[in-house]
A and B are shown apart, each in its own frame.
Chain A
Amino acid sequence: MDTLFFWFFSLVMIVCGLSVILNRNPVASALCFAFSLVSMAALFIMLDAYFLAAVQILVTAGGVMVLFLFIIMLLNVEAAESIPRQKIWMGLTLGLALIFIYLVSLTLNATPRGFVPQNALAGESRSLEPGAPTPPADLLDDTQRIGNRLFTHFVAPFEITSLLLLVATIGVVVICKQDEPRRSPHEEISREAPSARPEKETTLTR
């Protein structure tokens, strides 16, 4: 069953990834991208990373994709008439890809140090057998383990990441801020009138 699910989700992921780069319409590309992200979350679940699967769906497939779709809508990006098919670039890309896959296949045959086959993992809830030693309770909950690790060993990077998010937020506001257009007196009046549209809406539409 695991095997079936693995092949199904990786096939969906790769086919959706291919249609991201082969689709003419940016909206279709974005939706295919969301699909491939969701199937990657399914692969995370198969790897016992439940917390990360939830984060993947919430943050990446939810937030980032909505952002992409909004930008596509705002910029009114038209569908390309045709995917540019320059022979040189296609050939170069394919060559690069083949070289990369060859290099990866070289490393795949080497077993890294510390690697243990899947069935030797006694600390996994899935491979628990009657004779196996009971794993400690704190090894079963991946969310708890990530949290413990994040707030003890990785607490400095965690704080720096929060700073990074703050910087990104302020940066986005600064980059996107348009220079204030000169307002006509009429608009000034209509903004101050209480019966006019709420101020928030006018600033948003501007």
Chain B
Amino acid sequence: MEITLNHYLAVAAVFFVIGLMGVIMRRNLLIIYMSLEMMLQAANLTFVAFSRFYSYPESPSRPYFNHIDGQVFVFFVITVAAAEVAVGLALIVALYRLKETTQVQNLTTLKF
């Protein structure tokens, strides 16, 4: 059986949904953050899969080659995700100093 684009997209969708379920279900801020990262990674997988399977002829001498822009985008996404994790974890540490907890049910200051 040949592995096609659809296989990769389906796996990425399942991984994304697992991350979504983690964000909605779990109460621990750190686990929620990991689930967010999982959703980002699933998007990365679709980017790479599309860049591998989407191809076009540029000219007759260069018949078909895969598109590299998807991989460049993944590069950017990884960079931004790393910066985001650093800032987010710093915020979690600051929150822990203030409230002594990382469980979201105890952080109800903004609840109305």
B5 pairs with A115, CB closer than 8 A: yes
C-alpha spacing A148/B30, complex, angstroms: 37
B31 pairs with A115, CB closer than 8 A: no
Contacts of A150 in B (CB 8 A): 72, 75
| Cross-chain pair count, CB within 8 angstroms | 238
Given A29-B31, A112-B54, A122-B64, are A6 and B3 also a contact pair (CB < 8 Å)?
Answer: yes
Q: Which of B25, B51, B54, B69 contacts A93 (CB 8 A)?
A: B25
Contacts of A100 in B (CB 8 A): 13, 16-17, 20
Contacts of A10 in B (CB 8 A): 7, 11
* A interface size (C-beta, 8 A): 88
Q: Which of A20, A33, A89 contacts B24 (CB 8 A)?
A: A89
Q: Which of B20, B34, B63 contacts A96 (CB 8 A)?
A: B20
A149 pairs with B53, CB closer than 8 A: no
Contacts of A47 in B (CB 8 A): 8, 48-49, 51-52
Q: Which of A80, A115, A167 contacts B28 (CB 8 A)?
A: A80
Q: Which of A40, A97, A112, A135 contacts B62 (CB 8 A)?
A: A135
Q: How far is the CB of A49 from chain B (nearest CB, A)?
A: 5
Q: How far is the CB of B25 from chain A (nearest CB, A)?
A: 6
Secondary structure type dominating chain B contacts: helix
Taken residue by residue from 41 to 67, chain A's Cβ proximity to chain B (1 for < 8 Å, 0 otherwise) reads as 001101111011001100110011001
By Cβ-Cβ distance, the 7 closest A-B pairs, closest first, are A123-B65, A21-B22, A168-B83, A104-B13, A175-B90, A97-B17, A47-B52
* Apart from the given pairs A13-B11, A107-B9, A120-B55, 14 other A-B contacts in the complex at a CB distance below 8 Å: A14-B14, A21-B25, A26-B31, A29-B34, A43-B48, A51-B71, A60-B37, A83-B26, A84-B27, A96-B24, A97-B20, A116-B54, A116-B55, A135-B63
Residues of chain B whose beta carbon lies under 8 Å from any beta carbon of chain A? 1-11, 13-22, 24-28, 30-31, 33-35, 37-38, 41, 44-45, 48-49, 51-56, 62-66, 68-69, 71-72, 74-76, 78-87, 89-94, 96-97, 102
Residues of chain A whose beta carbon lies under 8 Å from any beta carbon of chain B? 2-3, 6, 10, 13-14, 17-18, 20-21, 26, 29-30, 33, 36-37, 40, 43-44, 46-49, 51-52, 55-56, 59-60, 63-64, 67-68, 71-72, 74-75, 77, 80, 83-84, 89-90, 92-94, 96-97, 100-101, 104-105, 107-108, 112, 114-124, 133, 135-136, 139, 142, 145-146, 149-150, 154, 157, 161, 164-165, 167-169, 171-172, 175-176, 178
